[in-house]
Structure 1
Amino acid sequence: MCGFACLWKVDDEALARRMIEKIEHRGPDATQVYRAANVPAIMAHCRLSIIGPSDGSQPIYSNDNILVANGEIYNYADLRAILGESAFETRSDSETILHLFRSNQLRWLSKLDGMFAFVLATPDRIIAARDPLGIKPLYVARLGDGFAFSSELKAFDGLGLSHVEAVGPGEMFDSLEGNRRWFRISHGAASEEAGFQLDAVCRELRLTLEDAVRKWMVADVEVGSFLSGGLDSSLIAALAARSIDRPLKTFSVGLEGSPDLLAAQRVADHIGSEHDTLAFSAADVAKVLPHVIYHLESADIDLVRSAIPTHFATTLARRHVKAVLTGEGADELFAGYTYHHQYANSPRELADELTRSLTSMHNINLQRVDRITMAQGLEARTPFLDRDLIEFAQSIPASLKMRIVDESSGKTVEKWILREACRDLLPADLVWREKAQFDEGTGTVDVIDEALAIATGTSSPVDRETEARLYRDLLCEQFENPEMILANAGAWVQDRVTVPS
Structure 2
Amino acid sequence: MGAITAIVSKKNENVAKTAVTMLKMLKHKSTETFGLASPTTATIRKTIEDLQDKDPNSPVLIGHVFSKILTSDKPQPIKLDNGTFVFEGRIYSLNTEFSSVEFTAEKLNQNLENAEALIKDFEGDFAFAMAESGRLTAGRDSLGLYPLYYGENTDLSALASKRKALWEIGIKEVHSFPPGHLAVVDKYGFKFKPAKTLVHAKTKQITMQAATKKLSGLLQRSVKQRVSGLKEVAVAFSGGLDSTIIAFLAKKLGVEVHLISVSLKDQPEIEHAKKAAEALNLPLHIHLYSEKAVEEVLPKVLWLIEDANPVKTSIGIPVFWTAKEASDMGFRVMLAGQGADELFGGYKRYLNDYLRYGEESVQKTIFNDIAGMYENNFERDTKICNFHNVELRLPFATY
Instruction: Report the Cα distance in structure 1 between the residues aligned to 2:33 and 2:231, rounded to whole angstroms.
Output: 20
Instruction: Return the offset for 1:42.
Output: 2.8
Q: 2:14 aligns with which of 11, 15, 32?
A: 11
Which structure: greater strand fraction? 2
1:139 is aligned with what amino acid? Y
Instruction: Report the Cα distance in structure 1 between the residues aligned to 2:233 and 2:96, rounded to whole angstroms.
Output: 21
Change (3 A) 1:225 1:3: same
Q: 2:392 aligns with which of 380, 403, 408?
A: 380
Corresponding residue of 2:273: 264
CA-based RMSD of the aligned residues comes to 2.4
Equivalent positions of 1:98-113 (< 5 A) are: 98-104=105-111, 107-109=116-118, 110-113=120-123
1:306 is aligned with what amino acid? I
Instruction: Report the Cα distance in structure 1 between the residues aligned to 2:73 and 2:347, rounded to whole angstroms.
Output: 43
Instruction: Report the Cα distance in structure 2 between the residues aligned to 1:11 and 1:220, rounded to whole angstroms.
Output: 43
Instruction: Return the offset for 1:220.
Output: 5.5
| SS of equivalent residue, structure 1 residue 317 | helix
Corresponding residue of 1:58: 76
Corresponding residue of 1:95: 102
Superposed CA deviations along residues 2-28 of structure 1, whole A, max 9, x for unmatched, are 212222345233332222222223x82
Instruction: Return the offset for 1:54.
Output: 4.8
| SS of equivalent residue, structure 2 residue 328 | coil
Corresponding residue of 1:284: 293
Instruction: Report the Cα distance in structure 1 between the residues aligned to 2:168 and 2:39, rounded to whole angstroms.
Output: 28
Equivalent positions of 1:113-192 (< 5 A) are: 113-142=123-152, 145-175=155-185, 178-190=191-203
Instruction: Report the Cα distance in structure 1 between the residues aligned to 2:211 and 2:18, rounded to whole angstroms.
Output: 53
1:376 is aligned with what amino acid? H
TM-score for both structures, normalised by structure 2:
0.85
Corresponding residue of 2:48: none
Instruction: Return the offset for 1:163.
Output: 2.9
Identity %: 26
Instruction: Report the Cα distance in structure 1 between the residues aligned to 2:31 and 2:252, rounded to whole angstroms.
Output: 30
1:125–1:174: 8 Å Cα contact kept in structure 2?
yes
Change (3 A) 1:189 1:235: farther
Instruction: Report the Cα distance in structure 1 between the residues aligned to 2:4 and 2:353, rounded to whole angstroms.
Output: 41
2:2–2:31: 8 Å Cα contact kept in structure 1?
no
1:347 is aligned with what amino acid? E
Q: Which has the larger radius of gyration?
A: 1
Superposed CA deviations along residues 49-88 of structure 1, whole A, max 9, x for unmatched, are 234x2562211112132111121011383774xxxxxxxx
Corresponding residue of 2:210: 200
Instruction: Return the offset for 1:229.
Output: 1.3
Change (3 A) 1:184 1:379: same
Instruction: Report the Cα distance in structure 2 between the residues aligned to 1:149 and 1:58, rounded to whole angstroms.
Output: 17
Unpaired runs of 5+ residues, structure 1, are 81-91, 388-501
| SS of equivalent residue, structure 2 residue 278 | helix
Instruction: Return the offset for 1:37.
Output: 6.6
Q: How many residues align?
A: 370
Change (3 A) 1:138 1:300: same
| SS of equivalent residue, structure 2 residue 164 | helix
TM-score for both structures, normalised by structure 1:
0.69
1:101–1:108: 8 Å Cα contact kept in structure 2?
no
Corresponding residue of 1:358: 370
